[in-house]
Amino acid sequence: MSSGTSKVQLSKDETEVRAVIEATTKAHRDKDVTAIGARYAPEIVSYDLSPPLMHRGFNTKEKQAWLDTWEGPIEVETRDFEITVAGDCAFAYGYFRLAGTPKSAGQPISFWMRATICLRKINGTWKITHEHESVPFYMDGSLRPAFDLSP
């Protein structure tokens, strides 16, 4: 295979991986739990903002319950995703801004988190097999999450 062909292949895969990330954020904005779940491999291991340390498998009920904690629409914005692809393995990292009104807070919030998304091409389709989302915390004695940072 010429390096030219290889480059086109890489670019196509990068485009597909970017489309998976965009589809996932759109599905969150639409609060469409089925569309969210469709992007994950059955063996998905996710490290979320809140405990426990990990989730294995996509839990429709839990995701729906989380979507229901928001009053009205959720905004999800992506920023600065860098994508690496080789063969049927890919990883991407960048930022999500999450905004909306949690029912418990009763007022709008908005903050940036870091996200790492790892994918496998399974039967010709890119699926997310691992996702890690976090906010750093201040080690200044306060230990509060750093919701005030932006990329």
* Pick 11 or 84: Cβ nearer its own copies: 84
Cα separation, 93 vs 79, whole angstroms: 9
* Pick 35 or 114: Cβ nearer its own copies: 114
Task: State which of positions 88-117 bind its own copies (CB under 8 A).
Answer: 88-91, 93, 95, 104, 112, 114, 116
Residues 6+ apart with CB under 8 A from 28: 36, 67, 74, 76
User: Which x/- pattern over 2-41 shows residues binding its own copies (rule: CB under 8 A)?
Assistant: ----------------------------------------
Cα separation, 65 vs 53, whole angstroms: 19
Alpha-carbon distance values, 126 to 29, 104, 129 (Å): 21, 36, 9
* Pick 23 or 93: Cβ nearer its own copies: 93
Stretch that binds its own copies, among 14-22, 23-31, 32-40, 42-50 (CB under 8 A): 42-50
Q: How far is CA 131 from the centre of its chain?
A: 6
Q: Which of 1, 61, 72, 86 binds its own copies (CB under 8 A)?
A: 86
Find residue 78's DSSP bridge partners.
96
Peptide bond into 136 cis (omega under 30): no
* Interaction site with its own copies (CB under 8 A): 45, 47-54, 82, 84-91, 93, 95, 104, 112, 114, 116, 118, 120, 129-130, 132, 134-139, 141, 143-146, 149-151
